[in-house]
Amino acid sequence: MRIHPHDALSDAQDPPSRWLPPVDHYCGVEKLMRKSLALQAEWQGRFDVTLDCEDGAAVGAEAAHVDLVVDLLRGPTGGRVGVRVHPVDHPAFEMEVHRLAHEAGERLAYLMLPKIDSAEQLHRGAVRVQQAWRQAGHEQGPPLQALVETHGALREVDALAAHPDIESLSFGLMDFVSAHRGAIPAEAMGVQGQFQHPLVLRAKLAISAACHAHGKVPSHCVVTELQDLAQLRNAGRRAARELGYTRMWSIHPAQIEPLLAALAPDPSELDEAADILCAAQDADWAPTRHRDRLHDRASYRYYWHLLSQAHRQQIALPAEAVLRFFTPPTA
C-alpha cells in the first residue's frame, strides 16, 4: 500500500489561505469589468477578478459605482471575484462595506483594503467588515487582502501578515514610491527599475518574507508597461524566482495569459518533481538518490508543494504523478 505525501510528509498540506490563483486582475471601468468576468469564465476561474471601487469610481459617484459592482456580483461569474473598497478612514468605506455585505455578501470571495497604515487600522477595518457581514445575516465576513504602500504599513508588515482575517498582502509600488516625496526616482516605478532600486526591493522582500512566515500569499505589484509583454513575463518570473511572490496583479486583459505562464512552474521541474516523488513513495519516503543528488523528506516537501501548485493551476502533470497523487482511490 503506497503512502500518500499528505500522510508521509509533515507540513504537506498548505493552510487554507496559503494558495490563491496566481493572477489577480484589477478592473474598475464597466466595460473592462464585464470583459474580465467573461474572460474569467472562459478560462475556468484560473485567475481572480477584483472589481475596483477605489480608483474605479469617479469622485462623488461612489454610491453609483457600488450599484454597478453589486449588479455584477449578483450576475454570473466564472471564479473568485473580490472588491477593492476605499481606505478604512475614507468617508465612502462604511457605505461600501455595508452595501456589499447586505446586497452581495455571499458572492464576495475577498475584500481588498488599500492604503493600510498600521496594524491598528487594519484591525479597525476588519472589525467593521465582520460587523457588517453579521448584521447582514452572514456567519462571518470574507477573507481580507491589504495593500502595503505606506511607511507605516511596511514598518508593521509582520503584524499585518499575522492578522487572522488576512489571506494576502499586495505591494502598492506607485504609492510607495510617491510616499518618498521624490527621494526615489520615477524610474523605480518602471518594469526594470522596480527590481533594481534598493528601497523598493527592501519593501518587496519584507512583504514576501512576512507572508511566508504566517502562511499568507504575497502578491506582487503591477507592471504599467501594457504593451511590452516580454518585459511583463520577465517581471513575473523575477517576482516569483527571486522574491518569492506566488501571485501578481494584472491591470489589462492582455497581461493575464503572460502572467499565468510566468508564474507557473517550469515543465522540466515538474517532470523532475514527479520522478523524485514517485521514487520516494516507492521507497516508503526514505532517502533516495536522483541524478546523483540525495533527497529526503525536506526536499520531498518542496517538490510536493510544486506539484500541488501546478495541479491547482490546472497545469498538465506526468500521468504517473496524476494517478498516484491526484486520483481518488477506487472502492
Q: What is the pLDDT of residues 15-30, one digit of tens each?
A: 555 689 999 999 999 9
Q: Looking at this protein, which amino acid is placed at residue 304?
A: W
Confidence of residue 233 (pLDDT cuts 50, 70, 90): very high
Give the whole-angstrom CA distance, residue 270 versus residue 317. Answer: 7
For residue 246, pLDDT over 80 is answered with: yes
Confidence of residue 79 (pLDDT cuts 50, 70, 90): very high
Judge contact between 203 and 176, C-beta under 8 A. yes
Q: Say which residue, 56 or 208, is predicted with more confidence.
A: 208
Task: Decide if domain 23-263 falls under CATH 3.30.450.40.
Answer: no
Give the whole-angstrom CA distance, residue 124 versus residue 122. Answer: 5
Q: What are phi and psi of 275, to 5 degrees?
A: -60, -45
Q: What's the confidence (pLDDT) of residue 329?
A: 77
For residue 94, pLDDT over 70 is answered with: yes
Cα distances (Å, whole numbers) of residue 104 to 68, 74, 167, 190: 12, 6, 20, 36
Choose among 230, 210, 100, 84: nearest CA to 153. 210
Q: What's the confidence (pLDDT) of residue 225?
A: 87
Give the whole-angstrom CA distance, residue 99 versus residue 87. Answer: 16
Residue ranges in the chain assigned as alpha helix (H)? 5-8, 30-42, 62-74, 91-104, 119-135, 151-155, 157-162, 173-178, 198-213, 229-241, 253-263, 267-282, 297-312, 319-325
Give the whole-angstrom CA distance, residue 92 versus residue 46. Answer: 31
Residues contacting residue 108 through CB under 8 Å, at least 6 positions apart = 73, 81, 82, 83, 100, 142
Q: What are phi and psi of 104, to 5 degrees?
A: -150, 25
DSSP codes, 208-227:
HHHHHHTT-EEEE-----SS
Q: What's the confidence (pLDDT) of residue 314?
A: 84
* Mean confidence (pLDDT) of the chain: 93
Q: Could you identify the residue written with the cell 511572490? A: 245
CA end-to-end span of the chain, whole Å?
14
C-alpha 143, offset from chain centre: 12
The grid coordinates listed for 140 are 462571518
Q: What's the confidence (pLDDT) of residue 14?
A: 60
Residue 149 marked as a ligand binder:
yes
Domain range list for the chain: 5-12+266-326, 23-263
Average pLDDT over residues 201-224: 96
Cα distances (Å, whole numbers) of residue 122 to 110, 156, 195: 15, 11, 28
The grid coordinates listed for 52 are 475596483
For residue 32, pLDDT over 90 is answered with: yes
Overall pTM > 0.95: no
Q: Say which residue, 13 or 36, is predicted with more confidence.
A: 36
> How many Cβ atoms are within 10 Å of 67's Cβ, its own excluded?
13
Q: What's the confidence (pLDDT) of residue 17?
A: 54
Q: 225-263: b or e for each residue (b if 16 or more CB lie within 10 Å)?
A: eeeebeebbbbbbbbbeebbbbbbbbbbeebbbbbbebb
Give the whole-angstrom CA distance, residue 312 versus residue 296. Answer: 24
Average pLDDT over residues 258-266: 92
Average pLDDT over residues 39-46: 94
pLDDT tens by residue, 123-171: 999 999 999 999 999 999 999 999 999 999 999 999 999 999 999 999 9
